[in-house]
Amino acid sequence: MAELLLLNGPNLSILGRRQPEIYGTATLADIEQAVTDELAGAGWKVRAVQSDSEAELIHAIQDGYDTVGAIVNPGALMIAGWSLRDALASYPRPWVEVHLSNVWARESFRHESVIAPLASGVVAGLGALGYRVAARALVALVGA
């Protein structure tokens, strides 16, 4: 069965209790379930990886060339995750960058993402819904 890679970076394991006024109350498990539900119609499964370590995210990408596409919330690695960027440059499938918060409405250090130029698209500011939007976009881009 086709699998979608769902990558979440540093500090996203504590969603639900991490600054809920910014990131909402959905937990990472809620988000992984929502993406799973969104992809059920396409017959895709989810390979979910969260890590606070850039190296582990890179390994998940390198081991994920067999996946059909990816959703990537890099957390603060958006700012200077050059090794993550290099890993994504070699990832052979379409992928979408997701941010729960509207990063452009926040501190200026969040306004540029080093990975965004490589993404098929970027979804920001829609909270947990953004992951569903990204999943739907990937089904449309890749074709179920």
Question: Which among 29-37, 61-69, 73-81, 131-139 is the span making contact with ligand DQA, rule CB under 6 A?
Answer: 73-81
The reply to whether 50 sits near ligand DQA by the rule CB under 6 A is: no
The reply to whether 57 sits near ligand DQA by the rule CB under 6 A is: no
Answer yes or no: are the C-beta atoms of 49 and 57 closer than 8 Å: yes
Per-residue DSSP letter, 26: -
Q: In this complex, which beta carbon is closest to ligand DQA, that of residue 39 or of residue 72?
A: 72
> In whole angstroms, how close is the CB of 117 to ligand DQA at the nearest point?
16
> In whole angstroms, how close is the CB of 95 to ligand DQA at the nearest point?
15
CB neighbour class for 20 (10 Å; exposed up to 12, middle 13-18, buried from 19):
exposed
List CB contacts of 53: < 8 A, sequence separation 6 or more.
10
Where do we find the tokens 């504590």?
A: 14
- Polymer length in residues for the chain: 144
| Residue 65 is a catalytic residue | no
The reply to whether 132 sits near ligand DQA by the rule CB under 6 A is: no
Count Cβ atoms below 10 Å from residue 66 Cβ, excluding itself. Answer: 11
Distance of alpha carbon 109 from alpha carbon 3, whole angstroms: 33
**Binding marks (x or -) toward ligand DQA, 85..104, rule CB under 6 A?**
--------------xxx-x-
Where do we find the tokens 């600054």?
A: 19
Residues that bind ligand DQA (rule: CB under 6 A) add up to a total of: 10
The reply to whether 76 sits near ligand DQA by the rule CB under 6 A is: yes
Q: Please report, as ranges, the residues that interact with ligand DQA according to CB under 6 A.
A: 11, 73, 75-76, 78, 99-101, 103, 110
